[in-house]
Structure 1
């Protein structure tokens, strides 16, 4: 059975890869492995070594610490956390939405954000 930290790190790899629009094949080429290994990392089936995680972070242009963000630390969760699905960042549709959102010019993006905030307040 996969360790919870390995699963979390794998989800964060997948999340960042989706966010930057990179395929498993392209990421694998960047770090010098086969795409099947990336699949195993993303599911938590295989543990990522420290040096490989360093290479993946470099390819995805994030700090290594990014992959550990969000691990439970025992701190009380905020009320807002109850309204957001636990694995929202592992949801491909949510990641596509985030990627599309950031592709919108900043002034239009701000207006869209305000519209979404108003709609969520009324719901």
Structure 2
């Protein structure tokens, strides 16, 4: 295989299949993924079919939109360590500490309500791909 070939290869088809598989696992459609990754719906279709070669910048955008490490597209599996390290980084961040301290002051009913709200926001973020799940103009409302 020549590196300067513009023709899609078997690897491009494998990468496309992984993009499609992860998108479906997240219950996203191709339009939503395209919006989140900054490409057209048609480009998503072509990448998933292996008809187009994905540049490194596109793979980084897809990885971000699909909440995976770029290595996922080359056969690295999602690991509990990768997901756990992201969770631990957040827990130890100033926002994570503040959130946990405030959460522990709530009674059980209010904790369940807060958890439901956060889960709904997370689902919306996954579908829309918005930065940090909240538009900056809405932060004051929270």
Instruction: Please state which band the TM-score falls in when normalised by the shorter chain.
Output: 0.5 to 0.7
CA deviation vs aligned residue, 1:55-113 (integer Å, no higher than 9, x gap): 1000000000001107xxxxxxxxxxxxxxxxxxxxxxxxxxxxxxxxxxxxxxxxxxx
1:16 matched to 2:22:
yes
- Quote the Cα distance in structure 1 between the aligned partners of 2:61 and 2:42: 16
Query: Which position in structure 2 is the counterpart of 1:92?
Result: none
- Tell me whether 1:41 sits opposite 2:41 in the alignment: no
Distance (Å, rounded) in 2 between the aligned partners of 1:14 and 1:28: 12
CA distance in 2, matches of 1:28, 1:59: 9
The 8 Å contact of residues 38 and 61 in structure 2, kept in 1 or not, is answered as no
Q: Give runs of ≥4 in structure 1 deviating > 2 Å.
A: none
| Structure with larger RCO (C-alpha < 8 A, sep 6+) | 1
Instruction: Provide the residue aligned with 1:58 in structure 2.
Output: 64
Alignment-derived partner of residue 13 in structure 2: 7
Deviation of 1:12 after TM superposition, in Å, equals: 0.2
2:38 to 29, 32, 39: 32
Offset of residue 2 of structure 1:
3.1
TM-score after normalising by structure 2: 0.47
Larger Rg: 2
Question: 2: CA distance between counterparts of 1:65 and 1:5?
Answer: 13
> In the TM superposition, what whole-angstrom CA distance separates every residue of 1:13-47 from its partner, at most 9, and x where no partner exists?
00000001011000000112210100000011000
Question: Which whole-Å CA distance do the structure 2 matches of 1:22 and 1:35 have between them?
Answer: 12
Instruction: Give me the TM-score of the superposition, normalised by structure 1.
Output: 0.55
**CA-atom RMSD, angstroms?**
1.3
Q: Could you tell me how far apart the structure 2 residues matched to 1:37 and 1:59 are?
A: 15
5+ residue gaps in structure 1? 71-123
| Counterpart Cα distance in 2 of 1:21 and 1:34 | 18
